[in-house]
Structure 1
Amino acid sequence: MAHTAGRTASRAHGRLAAIAAVGVRPGGRRHPLVAAAMVLPLALVLAVVFGGVDAVATQASSVAGMLGR
């Protein structure tokens, strides 16, 4: 019975490693589109939670005003 816990943990670790390895190139680098797909949802949530959407809109309107549009 004591040996089953080690195998279960090892199997779960193998699954997590396989999921984490999605989009990883042979050199160990992740494809840029995979990296962006991983980061963008979190970035959007943080922008909404901390009011970043309003700040970006304000900055964009300021830049557009400086460009004369």
Structure 2
Amino acid sequence: MAHTAGRTSPGGQGEPAALAAPGTRPGGRRHPLVAAAMVLPLALLLGFITGWGQMVAAQASSVAGMLGS
């Protein structure tokens, strides 16, 4: 197995690990909020395309009707 502890960044280009990529930690892992910000727009788009938006709107309307709003 190759020894990788001497690398300065995940890509190994010689730049400091803190400047390797926005939101990455020194160990090469992204911060959870950065990962969520990357995934949520695609997840919402996919949800609306598949009809998730209509289902949520129908449920919200039903709850609002039950509450008397």
Q: For this structure pair, what is the TM-score category when the shorter chain's length is used for normalisation?
A: 0.5 to 0.7
For the residues of structure 2 that align with 1:36 and 1:65, how far apart are their CA atoms?
33
TM superposition score normalised by structure 1: 0.52
**Contact conserved, 1:24 with 1:30, CA < 8 A, in 2?**
yes
Aligned to 1:3: none
CA RMSD of aligned residues (A): 2.9
For the residues of structure 2 that align with 1:66 and 1:39, how far apart are their CA atoms?
34
Q: Which runs of 5+ in 2 are unaligned?
A: 1-9, 13-19
TM superposition score normalised by structure 2: 0.52
Identity %: 62
Alignment of 1:1-69 (within 5 A): 14=11, 18-19=20-21, 22-25=22-25, 28=29, 30-32=31-33, 34-69=34-69
In the alignment of these two chains, the number of paired residues is 52
The structure that is helix-richer by fraction is 1
Q: Structure with the greater relative contact order (CA < 8 A, sep ≥ 6): 1 or 2?
A: 2
Equivalent position amino acid for 1:14 in 2 = G
Aligned to 2:4: none
Q: Which runs of 5+ in 1 are unaligned?
A: 1-12
